[in-house]
Amino acid sequence: MKIATWNVNSIAARLPVVLKWVAEAQPDVLCLQEIKCVDAKFPRDDFARLGYQVETHGQPTYNGVAIVSRFACQEVQRNFPDAEANAQARLLAATIAGIRIVNVYIPNGQAIGADKYVFKLDWMKQLRRFFDTTCDPNAEVLLCGDFNVAPEDRDVHDPQLWQGSVLVSAAERAALEEIKAWGFVDAFRLHHQDGKLFSWWDYRAVAFRRNAGLRIDHIWVSEALAARCKDVVIDKAPRQWERPSDHTPVVAEFE
DNA sequence: ATGGTGGATGGTCCA
């Protein structure tokens, strides 16, 4: 069972790259973030041809999440249960093959102290509450997506340069730990301890060639699911293809 | 060097 997460930065712009990767990597489940399209415009036929069904939670222009799956999606949940009707589309959950999969696009936060930063910290609090109220920590639960936080300095190419910035600040890391304390482990860190292993590189300043990146895309698992986790891989290949996303897929393998 | 690149959009906003 292969479960992947990928911020594609517009599914319309990224369709050739995503289809190529799916055909090659053969994930069972692919959680997408920043699809930047409404549900009706998602190219689900292209995925159906490859044997996948699609659940979407889109919105115009910004945000939007989707789950592409070989298996049936049950108990599909869009956004937090108590969210306003016009809330930003940043959460999509489904139970697939007995695993509760929660796909999130955590807000970027823009800059320390900005309105969007306050919104980010509040959204992360809501996410912790979502698990408190809707999930069982003893079950097989998987949280993945673009978390927009590098948990530790080893997840940052130049911690000195990034010190105090959005995506690495102490408050964001503390909010992330609060979510983790519900009962998650970082599946990637079960298998890899090195630093300088990133999932995102800025489009600017030839960041990818310099490996000037951050590890902000994550797959977290409950203890019960951690016991089945064989490996987690960051697949850097699609970041080098034509017209890439600035993020690359992270893939977890379960027995 | 306070920039730079890319996407949606059709002015700027967002990342």
User: The pTM is what?
Assistant: 0.98
A86-102 residue pLDDT tens: 999 999 999 999 999 99
Nucleotide nearest to A109 (CA to C1'): B15
A123 neighbors A117 (Cβ within 8 angstroms): no
Question: What's the rounded mean pLDDT across residues A204-230?
Answer: 98
Q: Which of A117, A146, A186, A246 is catalytic?
A: A146
Torsion (CA) A119, A122, A126, A129 in degrees, nearest 10:
170
Q: Is residue A146 annotated as a catalytic residue, yes or no?
A: yes
A38-81 residue pLDDT tens: 999 999 999 999 999 999 999 999 999 999 999 999 999 999 99
CATH topology for A2-254?
A: Deoxyribonuclease I; Chain A (3.60.10)
A231-251 residue pLDDT tens: 999 999 999 999 999 999 999
pLDDT interval class at A84 (50, 70, 90) = very high
Residue among A58, A87, A72, A68 at smallest CA distance from A27: A68
The reply to whether A227 has its C-beta less than 7 Å from any atom of strand B is no
The reply to whether A242 has its C-beta less than 7 Å from any atom of strand B is no
pLDDT score recorded for residue A10: 98
Q: Is residue A45 annotated as a catalytic residue, yes or no?
A: no
Q: Which of A28, A45, A82, A105 is catalytic?
A: A105
Secondary structure (DSSP) of chain A: -EEEEEE-S-HHHHHHHHHHHHHHH--SEEEEE---S-GGGS-HHHHHHTT-EEEEE--SSS--EEEEESS--EEEEES-TT--TT----EEEEEETTEEEEEEE-----STTSHHHHHHHHHHHHHHHHHHHH--TTS-EEEEEE-----SGGGBS-HHHHTT-TTT-HHHHHHHHHHHTTTEEEHHHHH---S---SEE-SSTTTTTTT-EE--EEEEEEHHHHTTEEEEEE--GGGGSSS--SB--EEEEE-
pLDDT score recorded for residue A81: 98
